[in-house]
């Protein structure tokens, strides 16, 4: 097993700024003990493929970049450890459980279905294997992200966090928006609670200015990572960015499409502007 999380820190020293990006869903090192019955190519459709490549350059801007190397359907760092699907386990879960709609459609802490339909396993998961996934993957990811955010917050008195994701071009009957085409970008600040509103607006204005349609807090408003780290009253700001996959990839082939280079350039410009925004707050 390799490292569950990879951290790229800026090399510039004094140019460092309190800005952290993370990509929790771009990993694809499928652990041997997953024992899924679904072909790898189908499992891979749950990944935010290429998001680590599209955002991984930010260390040259003075920012920190973290990514998970393990796949999100094995264990999802963007879920709470209470998001346990109890009927998918072979025994009682020893901790607290929060039974949400997402969990029940198989997209909880450990996914059991692809897009709410296709079963990933032909067995119950053991309590011990879910606990192992938490201890060996989820927890190290959370510890690494916590440490970076805390370190920068104590140095600068503020920290800005971009939680990077991608979304399928269309919803489906199991998603909150139904089977409709989605905006180019969806920004999520959990209805204005996880970052300064002017930060969300700044990013939205940048993208709109480049001709993209941008939705805010619908159909995704941010999940566990921005919920946990976004406390604007403590000068800790977390914003989720969902990039529409049609802007950069063929969704079933998991290959880059013709728009990838252009989208990569726009995101590089956006991240440089975000770095300037943060510098302006110091």
- Point out which span in 20-28, 83-91, 105-113, 223-231 binds Zn ion (CB under 5 A): 20-28
- Interface mask toward Zn ion for 116-155; x: CB under 5 A: ----------------------------------------
245 touches Zn ion (CB under 5 A): no
Nearer to Zn ion, 17 or 216 (CB): 216
Binding residue (CB under 5 A) for Zn ion from 22, 48, 52, 184:
48
47 touches Zn ion (CB under 5 A): no
What are the residues whose beta carbons fall under 8 Å from the beta carbon of 6, sequence distance 6 or more? 66, 67, 69
236 touches Zn ion (CB under 5 A): no
Of residues 133, 166, 199, the one with CA closest to residue 267: 166
Nearer to Zn ion, 38 or 225 (CB): 225
Q: Could you give the angle at the alpha carbon of 71 between the alpha carbons of 65 and 74, nearest 5°?
A: 135
Query: Taking a C-beta distance cutoff of 8 angstroms, is the pair 23, 164 a contact?
Result: yes
Nearer to Zn ion, 69 or 131 (CB): 69
Measured from each CB, the residue nearest to Zn ion is: 165
Least distance between Zn ion and beta carbon 167 (Å): 7
In a 10 Å sphere around its CB, with 0-12 CB exposed, 13-18 middle and 19+ buried, how is residue 169 labelled?
Answer: middle
25 touches Zn ion (CB under 5 A): yes
Binding residue (CB under 5 A) for Zn ion from 102, 133, 165, 246:
165
Least distance between Zn ion and beta carbon 155 (Å): 28
Please state, in angstroms and rounded to a whole number, the distance separating the CA atoms of residues 10 and 4: 20
246 touches Zn ion (CB under 5 A): no
Nearer to Zn ion, 49 or 274 (CB): 49
Least distance between Zn ion and beta carbon 82 (Å): 19
Nearer to Zn ion, 25 or 237 (CB): 25
Question: How would DSSP label each residue in 151-195?
Answer: HHHHHHS-EEEEEEEEE-SB--TTSTT-S-BPPSEEEE-TTTTSS
Least distance between Zn ion and beta carbon 174 (Å): 16
Query: Taking a C-beta distance cutoff of 8 angstroms, is the pair 135, 141 a contact?
Result: no
Least distance between Zn ion and beta carbon 136 (Å): 20
Residues that bind Zn ion (CB under 5 A): 25, 48, 165
């Amino acid at each position: 097993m390799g490292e569950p999380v990879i951290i790229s820190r800026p090399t510039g020293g004094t140019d460092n700024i309190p800005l952290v990006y993370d990509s929790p869903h771009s990993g694809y090192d499928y652990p041997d003990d997953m024992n899924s019955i679904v072909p790898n190519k189908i499992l891979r459709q749950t990944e935010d493929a290429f998001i680590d490549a599209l955002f991984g350059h930010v260390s040259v801007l003075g920012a920190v970049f973290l990514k998970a190397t393990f796949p999100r359907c094995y264990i999802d760092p963007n879920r709470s450890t209470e998001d346990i699907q109890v009927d998918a386990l072979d025994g009682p879960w020893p901790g607290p459980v929060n039974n949400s709609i997402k969990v029940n459609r198989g997209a909880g802490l450990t996914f059991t279905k692809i897009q709410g339909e296709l079963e990933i396993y032909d067995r119950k998961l053991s309590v011990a294997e879910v606990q192992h996934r938490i201890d060996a993957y989820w927890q190290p990811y959370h510890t690494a992200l916590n440490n970076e955010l805390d370190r920068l917050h104590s140095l600068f008195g503020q920290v800005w966090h971009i939680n990077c994701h991608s979304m399928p071009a269309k919803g489906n009957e199991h998603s909150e928006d139904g089977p409709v085409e989605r905006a180019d970008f969806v920004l999520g600040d959990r209805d204005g609670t996880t970052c300064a509103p002017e930060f969300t607006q700044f990013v939205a204005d940048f993208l709109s200015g480049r001709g993209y349609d941008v939705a805010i807090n619908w159909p995704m408003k941010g999940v566990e990572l921005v919920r946990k780290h976004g406390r604007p009253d403590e000068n800790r700001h977390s914003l989720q960015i969902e990039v529409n996959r049609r802007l950069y990839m063929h969704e079933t082939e998991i290959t880059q499409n013709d728009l990838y280079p252009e989208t990569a350039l726009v995101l590089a410009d956006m991240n440089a502007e975000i770095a300037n925004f943060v510098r302006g707050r110091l």
